[in-house]
Structure 1
Amino acid sequence: MASASITFVLNRLGELAVKEAALLSGVGDDIRLLRDKLEWLQTFIQDADQERREGANQYVGLWVRQTRDVAHEVEDVLDDFLRRIDHDTLRQGLPAWRRWLNLAASCTTQVSVRHYLSERMKGIKERLKEISDNVDKYKITTFRTPAAGASSSAHNSTVNTVPAWDEGTEVVGFKAERANLESHLLASDDTSRSVISLVGESGTGKSTLAWEVYDSRIIRDHFDVRAWISVPPQIRDEDILYFIYKRLCPESETSEHNLSTTEKVHEALLVYLKDKCYLVMLDGLVNFSNWNSILHSLPKNEKGSRVMVITRLEDKEAAYANPKVSRLKIGKLDENDSSTLFRRRVFGANNQFEEKIFGSRISEPNVQMQEACKNMFKITHGLPLAIVLLAGLLRTKSISEWKEVLKKLESDNEPKQVKRILALSFDDLPSRLKSCFLYFAGVPENLIYNARRLVRLWAAEGFLKPKKGKTMEDIGQNYLKELISRGMIRLVKRDLNGGVWLVAIHDRLHSFAHAEAHEASFLEAHDNADLFEPGAIRRLHLQNYTETYVPMGTTFPKMRSILGDFAEERSQNEKASFSSTVRAHLPLKKQGNNSDLRYHALHFLPASKFLRVIDLRGLRIKKVPRAIGDMIHVRYLGLRSRSLAKLPSSIARLINLQTLDIKSTEVKKVAEAFWEIPMLRHVVANLLGLPKSAGILNNMQTLTGMICYDPSGNDIKPLHNMVYLRYLQIAGLTKPHWVALEDVFKKLESLMHLHLTGENIPFKLFTKFTLRRLQILELIGKIDTSGVKEEDQYTLPNVTRLVLRLSLTDQKFIDKIGELPSLLELVLSKDSYGEEKLLFSDKGFNSLTSLVMATRVPEWTIRPMSIPKIQKIVLSGCSGMQIKLEGKEGGEGLEGLMGDLKEVVVYSMPQEGSIIVKPANSAFEDKINRVAIKTKSEDITDAMQRDGRWRTGMIAGTMYQQ
């Protein structure tokens, strides 16, 4: 990581030379000389981290540490220089007389600060010279060749890996284990609730195998309700049970207060699961007390229910935890299955990278591959994680480089193999990707992470290298894809735009990242702020899911980032989802007497003068200190606390702020001058009012959780200055706002995701507004179709997903949206259709693959060619609906009539009389019966909540959220 630290500082020096040229008079030469020295030092230290990690030469470790310390010192000097330079003349929100006074005083200030910088630079150059002299004095050398460690690809994004980032993770091998697992779960002769635990070495693929079984059709069809919960270390039992309940019963009306204790959740589970056959899978449960508490709270209802525990405990430890629990041990792959997995991960699912790797000069690629597979098996011993990592590493190289890498790995002992492969994979990463990977050391273990949030944090940290023609968000997505393709992180789900939405990291890679980050003084992760050396910490992540109050009185003078995930009382934690119109307009619930609770005043923040990232979730905060406005380095400000209702006006002085995340708060207004910050990229809120005016915000990408409070519609006008918006979410829209939006949408040509909540949504949104790049459209509120004309043509050619709620649309509207050429997913949620009969005609929905019907319609007619490409239909709450499937007699034309249909999910529907085929088409009716699935609450929730604003399995509300 010394190399990555130097790379980061070199980029900061370059940015300073460009942006602050006018301030560098007299010190510019010093900075250029320092930059040259660091570039030379970086060249010689490329492989020193590998030597240091192996401990072969104690001098190398000392060299790496001292070099890293110098890089950190340079960073401190640069940040202190920028802080000391009088930026008051640039700050927003100051009166004119104050700005003129600051300008007059700044000349003297800048002279003294430049002198300070010059003196510090001289000291740093002298220290660098001393380090260089010691290298010669103690004959510190590295003997590594690039092919044995990092190849030339370590400095550039590879061409072979990124295109394969989204390949599936189909399980290879383990046929007997899968059969045993399914047999246990489906055992019809065992009606008692039984428990099975999957045990085995970390990296054998326990979770991957369990998920494939859990999500298989036979399992989904067998159980009434299912829940998969990822359990992080050190979490309260009541929280695990709460997440189980919310996942099993996502539409429950039970309030948060009534689920605030283990006993209350236990009672709710007993009531809900009394007559249901349920399946609960707990991934990561280790603590012995957790086992007994959770199993005791899940009812034994004699319905054949099952609980599966995926644990890191060894076989004997699991038996000790609960002797009555059946155990299934997952071992390693044999040589044939290992080779299959290796080939698939190296060459891609369709062997698309074989020619790139072997090249045209190789005459016998099969011989080469067979030899490589044998060496691979000797190295990995059939451990799936090791195979995936090694394949991800070798995919970046030519066949000529393979031999040296494999030869190096063959010399290591088996217990160290995974760690060695991990180290080689890490060392092969480009310097910027190393920083991005190590950032996972500061996220909660064994959970799933939102890619958008990660990218925003990386951008604020300065890890992303700008590239002409691409936004920082695009670059961050490419970095994620690179890490996924290399096997360093795992893709959980893509978003509807084809990008990365959810990712996870294996626990062994998480441990490696944690160890490397600690060794490199990159990041510290703890459960409290009572640390031994707070003055040396540069990045701190506090994770505490057991305490509701964590003291934060320590100061951190060199800290760049503080992130925190804390437990928060559910009795205070109201639903913060923005997806409901009602939530936006109902009066806030009165909170109980909280006088006995302690709140964090965040007094430690101003003392951390170099902070760039502040992201605290679940912490009890009532107010933010005004001094935060003096922290000019802050680029990311995230404060998610239900008790926070106001932000100080001084945040308008955060001239470098890129992201403001106040979702899950009650903040309704920020200072008008805040909307003048030119660097703003993302504002993620909950109830925040739109401003009356705004500056030119050409960097703004995301504006969500906004409310229109001005009945005249004037608060729409500031959107004119955000022409590069990609994500926009507004509620409280009335007629004046729609008039103003008509003009605004002419400028928002980059808009991709639009969520609107309001009254009388005009139909011309589909026919008059030009939103050529829009892909996702969500509308909540009645749609006015009074002006629909036959000759009206759609103007939304790229919309792939349309969600309607409370829309009360009519047949004319359905006919018109059926013409959208790219529509793949249609969600007709509650009260989205207002007539008695619904018809899907032959003219529409020719591209639709997924349909959710969750609105009451007595009769729905589907004609033969109306949805020819449909693959999944979800029916929910459509009690009494008659579905008329018009087809030809005798089943002719079945392939044309939904021939691609794979799945029908029926939720809250009558068992008989709900499907009528007209005219009779027994073949098609049989098809429906074959693919129909019983009630699955999580399936309907997943289908209707694809935007990720709500999912269970969350800790402190952080998972899956924007």
Structure 2
Amino acid sequence: MAESAVSFLFGQLSVWLQEEQKLLVGFKEEVELIHGEIGQMRAFLKVADTKEERDPQLKEWVRQVREIAYDAEDVLERYMLQFAHHDTHGFRGYLKKIYAPLKNLKARRQIASEIKAIRLKLENASKRQQTFSDTYPVMNQGSSSTSARYDGRGDALLLEEVDVIGIEKPKELLLTWLSSINSGLKVISVVGMAGLGKTTLVKKVFDDASVKMKFDHHAWITVSESFNVENLLQNMIKRLLKDVKQPPPQGLEAMMADDMREFIYNFLQNKNYIIVLDDIWKIDAWEAVRYAFPRRTTHGRGCIIITTRISSIADASCSESNGHVYKLEPLPEEKSRELFYKKAFPTDSCPPDLEEISESILNRCEGLPLAIVVIGSLLATKNNKIEEWEMFYRSVGSELEGDHLKRISILLSLSFYDLPYYLKACFLYLSNFPKDQLIQKGRVIRLWTAEGFVEAKQGKIMEEIAEGYMNELLNRSLIQVSETFDDGRPRNFRIHDLLREYIIPKAREQNMAAIESQGEIQWPKSIRHLALDGFSNPTKQIYKGKNLRSLLFFGPGDSEWGPILYEVMRGDCRMLKVLELRGAPIDALPGEVFKLYHLKYLGLRDTRVKIIPKSIGNLGKLETLDLKRCGVTELPIEILQLQRLRNLLLYRCVYNHGYLECVQGFKAPYEIGRLLCLKKLCFIDVADAGSGRIKTVREVGKLTQLNRLGITKLRREDGKELCSSLEKLTNLRELLILSLEEGELIDLEYHLSPSTFPFLRGLFLQGRLEKIPRWIGSLNTLTRLFLKWSMLREDSLECIQGLPNLQTLNLNSASYEGLELCFKAGGFQRLHKLYLARLGGLRWVRVEKGSMPILHSMDVWDCKSLVEMPEGIEHLKNLKHVEFNDMAEEFVERLIDEKRNGGDQWRLAHVPLVVVDNCVNGEWRRVQL
């Protein structure tokens, strides 16, 4: 983790040396020397981070280097803060001009002294580095192998059948896949996070009698994260020969890798074999052995089973052989409880007084078999004393650091220390979020970027790089997707509770984060990130240190939190880069906030703040201003001074009984086009621009970097100017256009063509169209289309039914006015979800065979004129969920009768979940058919 801090400082210095040369006058040489010194340390630190856990002296040296990097960052940012701004207006400015040189001279001398001290510390650290290089010569070669401590992964190979619970169904599926192999090679991958039981599952399949009969040759090879190609191939040869009771060939230890691959290939040719490669961490391990296995054989058949924590390895290894990937999921609740009780109460049942605390502990395990087994076995030694059980529950985090749960901790640490340095800081940062809270992808991407964790790469925008970081954490099974957008992209994710408990002390140790919880705080020496949980009781003991870089508040929080937050913001927090106050009980910001020179992220979502003062213009480094669902409706013209602003989010969605009624945006300054760095702009109320409405629409065309744009209250006469602006926004990923009112025409035919939007994924149009603009039908990248108030007539769908990537279609609130809606054969080949809502005149829906072949979800809401279930719905063989909501009583009665009389021949008999939600006598009732 020191490498993360040092790399961040290295990047900051690189930027300052390029962009802030005027401010660095007198210090540039010293700063360049520091820049060069830490540049030389980075490669060494990447390896030292993985070895510090087993060497206390190395760990202390790494800590010292990390603190030096933090100190250097503090000194230089304090210097920037002091000299970047000077008020030279009025009489006070005149006095400042007189006394500033003396004051600046003193300050420069002080900072020069501090920079020199940092340089000396770095030189001493560099000398000490050589000592460790002599002790660990392999560190100079860039090895990233982790500790050789016993980690317990091999224990799964020795488990008896009685110790295994919950693998019956996955085992049966894997055996089915194996039985279908008749010739050639098939690869099966089992993927999932640490502790899920991948090795246990595969071992039970490997040992099954049917597998022993089907395959003549069997070999189990444990790969691990620190594999060596030659050793791996030697081990495979020995295992294969041992299985047939043959000695290894002479000279095996001296054989080249290519020769060993050839030996394995010839040995397996025309044979029936199964080989398990357990615990692959690097794609290199698969690449090293993949060509050792015959792919096409006349008489033989082969199967390779891989276990891994990394999804990309699972996918890559199976792709060539058209194999199978099995994603192992946590145990369901019942199986978790069965396994836990078996371990915690081996000779008896659960006592009534321990049932509640048992459920709480089980919830912390979240279906992770390893955690359930280890924790259950530990609690079995507590003699059923509820006091000891409750004490354990409160201290799970510290228990992970102790001897009792070391097996869990070591397995988790393998995943953590295998992370590249740039992901360690990002992953530890997630410890700031309260447990059980869904973590929004977009929010985290903006926070990581503002914190400086995201390294710039040529040809990519910062948000794309940050999203790549998140995908890498998902790929490594360290976070899990909990909610997706309609097109399948991750929206929200979560982190396993035990994994979060593991990284909390890591983050605190690195001064990365401090979490206020239940009023019990142990402040690290120099906190960089402080998270306050609004669900806990507020405390007066709030940290107000000068080193704080981010303050995160997780609402809602009661009124007592308001004065405390004001106190923190008025404190000595001048170095803040992130101020996230989502859901905080505040109605204004203190003036001190608008003096935060380094601030990059200001989040006031879901607060009571109504006015943004003119002093917002002082925040010249601000990148994100999140005012969603607060009381602000207008921004001062000073917002145009924020030339680095990338995300401007200011809107409120109004819902009525689950329907989106309207979107309330904000009145933008006429010259909004001056904010050239904007990536997201949502939503501008064009009607509120008055006489400057057309100019505001025209200004939007200057924001050529936009990838998300929302405009509300558009009038018909704005169409030509809007199209002219949109024609220039070729980077758009999402476009949302809402008319002034129902019946107002949106004219979108001018200038626009499919080539205008090469990357557009989402299109939301609310307003009268009468017909779908021609260019929409050729948007090859479009995945989501939402239409409202469109007033379309028959055959309107022909324009869009050929969209090659459309996954979600939402026809809402008078978007279609025909009596019949027909989905024709061959149309909507990639559609996953279909929503039909508030289509008052719709009487019939017809689905021709061959239309929407992979549709898995259909929702029909408040279509009161619909007299019967869609004709041809039985053709949709992949439907998983059908919901009818707020329909006419006649429709519901007919649907229920058809189900009752149809039996297995019912047209929806193939759909796992059919739900009817209807209001009866003022009460909503849900019936599952």
Q: TM-score, normalised by structure 1?
A: 0.63
Does residue 626 of structure 1 match 2:591? yes
Q: Which runs of 5+ in 1 are unaligned?
A: 153-171, 180-201, 209-330, 348-353, 377-386, 399-411, 570-593, 888-893, 939-962
> Who is 2:554 aligned against?
565
Instruction: Map 1:811-826 to 2 at 5 A.
Output: 811=794, 813-818=796-801, 820-826=803-809
Aligned length: 700
Question: In the TM superposition, what whole-angstrom CA distance separates every residue of 1:305-329 from its partner, at most 9, and x where no partner exists?
Answer: xxxxxxxxxxxxxxxxxxxxxxxxx
Q: Is the 8 A contact 1:853 1:875 kept in 2?
A: yes
8 Å Cα contact 1:610-1:631 kept in structure 2: yes
Whether 1:512 and 2:483 are equivalent positions in the alignment is: no
The residue aligned with 1:29 is 29
Does 2:411 align with 1:430?
A: no
Secondary structure at 2:581 match in 1: strand
The answer as to whether partners of 1:807 and 1:833 remain within 8 angstroms in 2 is yes
Output the amino acid matched with 2:515. Answer: A
Take 1:774 and 1:620, find their aligned partners in 2: how far apart are those partners? 39
- 1 CA distance for matches of 2:66 and 2:501? 22
- Residues 591-629 of structure 1 show CA distances to partners (whole Å, capped at 9, x for unaligned) of xxx999868535634621111111112211111122322
- Look up the match of 1:336: 204
Task: Report SS of the residue matched to 2:910.
Answer: helix
Displacement of 1:745: 0.7
Counterparts of 1:524-923 in structure 2, within 5 Å, are 524-527=514-517, 533=523, 536-547=526-537, 551=540, 554-568=543-557, 600-601=565-566, 604-605=569-570, 607-686=572-651, 687-694=665-672, 696-708=674-686, 709-712=688-691, 713=693, 714-758=695-739, 759=741, 760=743, 762=745, 764-765=747-748, 769-770=752-753, 771-773=756-758, 775-779=760-764, 781-785=766-770, 794=777, 796-811=779-794, 813-818=796-801, 820-842=803-825, 845-856=828-839, 857-879=842-864, 881-883=866-868, 898=876, 900-909=878-887, 910-913=891-894
| Counterpart position of 1:122 | 116
Question: How far has the Cα of 1:757 moved from its partner?
Answer: 2.2
SS of 1:689 mapped into structure 2: coil
Amino acid at match of 1:373: D
Change (3 A) 1:869 1:434: closer
Letter in 2 for 1:513: I
Q: Does the aligned pair in 2 maintain the 1:802–1:823 contact within 8 Å?
A: yes
* 1:426 shift after superposition: 2.3
Contact 1:903 1:931 survives alignment (8 Å): yes
Alignment of 1:356-371 (within 5 A): 362-363=261-262, 364=264, 370=275
Per the alignment, residue 251 of structure 2 pairs with none
Deviations 1:431-484 (A, max 9, x none): 211111111111112332111111111110111111111010110111112122
**Closer/same/farther in 2, CA of residues 343 and 605 from structure 1, 3 Å limit:** farther
Residue pair 2:508, 2:524 contacting (<8 A) in 1 also: no
Change beyond 3 A, Cα 1:394–1:725: closer
Structure 2 vs 1, CA of residues 339 and 127 (structure 1 numbering), >3 Å: closer, same or farther?
farther
- Equivalent positions of 1:17-416 (< 5 A) are 17-54=17-54, 56-57=55-56, 59-88=57-86, 114-131=108-125, 141-142=135-136, 150=144, 174-176=166-168, 205=196, 333=201, 335-336=203-204, 362-363=261-262, 364=264, 370=275, 372-373=277-278, 416=406
Residue 863 of structure 1 and its aligned partner are, at CA, apart by 3.6
Between Structure 1 and Structure 2, whose CA radius of gyration is higher? 2
Q: Which amino acid aligns with 1:85?
A: F
The one-character-per-residue Cα deviations of 1:664-711 (angstroms, maximum 9, x if unpaired) are: 211112221212312111112224322211353332111124433224
Q: Runs of 5+ in structure 2 lacking a partner?
A: 147-163, 172-192, 209-219, 226-231, 237-256, 282-305, 318-401, 652-664, 919-929
Please state whether the residue corresponding to 1:465 is helix, strand or coil: coil
Amino acid aligned to 2:166: F
**Cα shift at 1:750:** 1.0
Q: Say if 2:583 and 2:606, in contact at 8 Å, map to a contact too.
A: yes
Aligned-pair distance for 1:131? 4.3
Deviation for aligned residue 1:70: 1.0
Which residue of structure 2 lines up, in the alignment, with residue 160 of structure 1? Answer: none
SS at structure 1 position matched to 2:731: coil
Instruction: Assess, with a 3 A threshold, how the Cα gap between structure 1 residues 61 and 641 changes in structure 2: closer, same or farther.
Output: same
**Distance in 2 of aligned mates of 1:21 and 1:900:** 62
Q: Residue type of the partner of 2:545?
A: F
Structure 1 residues 743 and 135, CA gap change in structure 2 (3 angstroms): closer
Residues 630-672 of structure 1: CA deviation (Å, up to 9, x unaligned): 2110011112343211122211111111101111211112221
Q: CA deviation at 1:173?
A: 8.2
Deviation at 1:926, TM superposition (A): 4.3
In structure 2, give the amino acid aligned to 1:906: F
Deviations 1:699-729 (A, max 9, x none): 2111124433224424323312311111122
Equivalent-residue separation in structure 1 for 2:904 and 2:96 (angstroms):
79
Over residues 531-576 of structure 1, what are the superposed CA-to-partner deviations in whole Å (9 max), with x where a residue is unaligned? 56587211111113144x665865221100111113346xxxxxxx
Distance 1:815 1:44, change over 3 A: closer
Q: 1:178 to 1:82 in 2, by over 3 A?
A: same
Amino acid at match of 1:125: R
- The secondary structure found in structure 1 opposite 2:492 is strand
SS at match of 1:525: strand
Percent identical pairs in the alignment equals: 23
Question: Which AA in structure 2 matches 1:728?
Answer: L
In 2, distance between residues paired with 1:936 and 1:144? Answer: 65
Residues 707 and 906 of structure 1, relative CA distance in 2, 3 Å threshold: same
1:461 aligns with 2:461: no
CA contact 1:535–1:557 (8 Å) conserved in 2: no
Deviation, 1:113, is 5.2
Partner of 1:572: none
| Deviates further, 635-644 or 94-103 | 94-103
What is the match of residue 11 of structure 1? Answer: 11
**8 Å contact 2:511–2:525 — kept in the other structure?**
no
Q: Say which is worse superposed, 805-814 or 667-676, in terms of deviation.
A: 805-814
Rounded Cα–Cα distance in structure 1 between residues aligned with 2:139 and 2:624: 42
Instruction: Tell me the amino acid that sits aligned with residue 112 of structure 2.
Output: S
**Aligned partners of 2:685 and 2:15: how far apart in 1?**
37
User: How has the CA–CA distance of structure 1 residues 795 and 118 changed in structure 2, closer, same or farther, with 3 Å as cutoff?
Assistant: same
Partner of 1:421: 411
C-alpha separation in 2, matches of 1:392 and 1:835: 46
Q: Is the 8 A contact 2:561 2:585 kept in 1?
A: no
Structure 1 residues 530 and 651 mapped into 2: Cα distance closer, same or farther (>3 Å)?
Answer: farther
Higher relative contact order (CA 8 A, sep 6+): 1
Q: CA contact under 8 A between 2:588 and 2:609: conserved in structure 1?
A: yes
1:706–1:375 Cα change, 3 Å: closer
Q: Which residue of 1 aligns with 2:335?
A: none
| Cα RMSD after superposing both structures | 4.8
